Amino acid sequence: MFAVIRTGGKQYKVQAGDVIKVEKLDKNIGDKVEFEVLLTSNDGKVAYKPADIKKAVCSAEVVAQGKADKVVVYKYKAKKNVRRKQGHRQPYTQVKILEIK
């Protein structure tokens, strides 16, 4: 059984036992989280209508909080002696999908 969930403006296809990185959530390690379910599939039967997935729940546990690798942004304007270097590390929350029901 798998489900498509939405969190942080993105959609993820998950199964029970998966560990995924999502946009940062204000939760502590070990906290339980429930995600909005958009679609479920069980033995080839796909449920996506609001009446069908209203009772579907995807529960997960926060495993870790962290930051992704650094992305370097370098801006340069030719012949103007303008250079700007900036780095960014996107925060994330790592969650383990416990069950989809």
In tens, the pLDDT along 71-99 reads 999 999 999 999 999 999 999 999 999 99
How far is it, in rounded angstroms, from Cα 59 to Cα 68?
24
CA 7 from centre of chain = 6
8-state DSSP, 55: T
How far is it, in rounded angstroms, from Cα 25 to Cα 63?
12
Asked if residue 38 has pLDDT above 90, the reply is yes
Cβ-contact 76, 49 below 8 angstroms: no
- pTM of the complete model: 0.85
Average pLDDT value for residue range 28-53: 93
Q: Per-domain residue ranges for the chain?
A: 2-100
